[in-house]
Amino acid sequence: MILVLVPMKKNQNVFLKGHFLITLQKMQRPGVEIVVDSRGDGDNGIRSLEERSRHVGDVMNSLIDDYLKPYHSHVLMMDSDLDEFPEDLPFQLMDTAKGKAIVAPMVLSAWGYPRYYDVAGFVENGKWARMWPPYFDQKERIIELDSVGCCYMVPADILKGGARLEYVQGFTQHYGLCKKAKEMGFKVKCDTGLKVRHADLTKYGEQIHGLPSDRGNK
């Protein structure tokens, strides 16, 4: 059973929330359990990448503690600001993982332009992903990374072994989880041929999450 775990912001834009939930419902099928939980403070009062990473990490960890059950084989963590994603995304990620691996799709901006989202979460050889193509140095479809973020599938054994999201300075809360997974013998992969779209938050009066304007690729 795949657990799909979504922390929904309390101050989520009404249009984005409705669109996301309609799309998410299409993902419901045998073998998938979906949980949407609105605990936490959303983005209110959050001023930096570190503050957001610590807050979201704490929220996600509490959701894992409350909802992860012995019968879950994998957990798909999804940002509630995602605008487009395949209805069979959990199963596509399972196919890509092929065993012991955390695996993520590419996360691009909605509205048709090729900006990469969560560049601080997707880390290759110690550097953030680039905001514009080429996003990564590796050219293969399936690439191995230090960390992924925003939307990714985690084998439940990693979480049942005690690993949790933990902020690492200069990156995000996802890095700590991926680091622990690699120490446990798992790989961290991104399927560059599989894409989801993150809402362009500037279209809804919000700022792009915690990305300092003077920092691109670390």
- pLDDT > 60? residue 217: no
Instruction: Give the integer Cα–Cα distance in Å for 38 and 61.
Output: 13
- pLDDT > 80? residue 114: yes
Q: Bigger pLDDT: 206 or 7?
A: 7
Paired sense of beta strands 2-7 and 74-78, if any: parallel
- Convert the pLDDT of each residue in 177-190 to its tens digit: 999 999 999 999 99
**pLDDT bucket at 42, cuts 50 / 70 / 90:** low
User: What is the chain's mean pLDDT, rounded?
Assistant: 88
What is the separation of C-alpha 176 from the centre of its chain, rounded to a whole number of angstroms?
13
- pLDDT > 90? residue 105: yes
Give the pLDDT of residue 213: 39
Q: Nearest to residue 131, comparing CAs of 216, 212, 199, 191?
A: 216
The one-letter code for the residue type at 144 is: E
- Convert the pLDDT of each residue in 138-150 to its tens digit: 999 999 999 999 9
What is the separation of C-alpha 144 from the centre of its chain, rounded to a whole number of angstroms?
16
- pLDDT > 70? residue 210: no
Q: Where are the alpha helices (DSSP H) in the chain?
A: 14-25, 49-67, 89-97, 156-160, 173-183
DSSP class of residue 176?
H
- Residue 25 phi/psi, 5° resolution? -60, -30
- pLDDT > 90? residue 10: no
DSSP class of residue 62?
H
Give the pLDDT of residue 99: 79
pTM: 0.90
Q: Exposed, middle or buried: residue 187 (CB in 10 Å: 0-12, 13-18, 19+)?
A: middle
Identify the H or E element spanning 74. strand 74-78
Question: Would you state the CATH architecture of domain 2-204?
Answer: Alpha-Beta Complex (3.90)
- The answer to whether 116 and 99 have CB atoms below 8 angstroms apart is no
The one-letter code for the residue type at 153 is: M
Give the pLDDT of residue 148: 97
What's the average model confidence in pLDDT over 75-97? Answer: 92
Share of the chain above pLDDT 90, in %: 66
**What separation in angstroms does the CA of 95 have from each of 37, 64, 102, 103, 194?**
27, 23, 12, 10, 11
Instruction: Give the integer Cα–Cα distance in Å for 120 and 100.
Output: 24
Q: Where are the domains of the chain?
A: 2-204
- pLDDT > 90? residue 174: yes
